[in-house]
Amino acid sequence: MKVALIATLGFDEKFCYRAILRHGIKEGDKIVLFTAEVNERVLKAYEWIKKLVRTSFASEVEVKLIQLDISNLENSIKRFLDEIRSLGDSKIIVNLSGGMRALVVIVLLGCIMLRRKNLEIEIETEDFSNVIVIQETLISLVGSEINTEKLEVLKLVKDGYRDVRSISKELRKDSSTVRRHLSDLEKMGLIEVHKRKPLIVVPSHLALLFV
C-alpha cells in the first residue's frame, strides 16, 4: 500500500526528516507539507526536505507544499480535506509536530472530519524523546454517542462481567440483545474479544473514556 506522509511545517525541517526516516518512505509514496505562511525560513526548510528526498529517491517521491490561510478556518479545512481525498486509498500518516498551533488545530480538525480508514496521527515531542500516536479508532470516537443500554453493558464488562450469560442476567436482558451491544462496542474499539466460543470479552484501553 502506498503511503502519503502529511506534515505541518514551520521553520524547522527536523520533525519532517525524522518522520520520513521513521516511516520508511519509499518510491511511489507522497509527502504533502502544510504551512501557515510561505516565507524565507519556511522555504528553506522545504528545500532541505526536497533535497533529502531527491538524494534518497530521485524524483520517485512527490513533495508538495501547500499554504493554508489560518485566518479562514472553514476554507483552510476544506483545502486540507480536498487534498487528502485526492490521495485515494493510500495510507495516511499525519505528523503534527511542526508549524503554528493554529495550523496544527486546522489539520487535526480536518482529520477528525475525514473519519477514514488507514489514517494515523502522530506528534513528536519537542526534545525528540517520544512520538505520541493517535490511532484511527480514537479519532472515530470523537463525537460518538453511546446509548444507555450499551453504556450499561460496557460498565459491566469493565467491572468484570466478561460473558454474555452473566451480562444478560445482570441486566435482565435477552442474550441476543447483549450480543448485539457487544458487537457494536467491539466495532467502536471499546471492547476486545478474548474468545469467540463461548464469547468472552475484555474492555479495551479506550473504554476508560466512557466508564
What local confidence, expressed as pLDDT, does residue 166 receive? 94
Give residue-wise pLDDT tens across range 15-70.
Answer: 999 999 999 998 889 999 999 999 999 999 999 999 989 888 767 899 999 999 99
Domain locations in the chain as residue ranges = 3-141, 148-209
What local confidence, expressed as pLDDT, does residue 156 receive? 95
User: Does residue 143 have a pLDDT over 80?
Assistant: no
Fold agreement (3-141, 148-209)? no
pLDDT band at 185 (very low <50, low <70, confident <90, very high): very high
State how beta strands 62-67 and 30-35 pair. Answer: parallel
Proportion of the chain above pLDDT 90, given as a percent? 72
List, in order, residues 6 or more apart from 87 with CB less than 8 Å away: 4, 30, 32
What local confidence, expressed as pLDDT, does residue 3 receive? 93
Q: Domain 148-209 maps to which CATH number in 3.40.50.720, 1.10.10.10, 3.90.1150.10, 1.10.3430.10?
A: 1.10.10.10
Give residue-wise pLDDT tens across range 75-119.
Answer: 999 999 999 999 988 999 999 999 999 999 999 999 999 878 788
- Rounded CA separation 150/133 (Å): 27
CATH architecture, range 3-141: 3-Layer(aba) Sandwich (3.40)
Q: What is the sign of the dihedral through the CA atoms of 64, 90, 115 and 192? A: negative
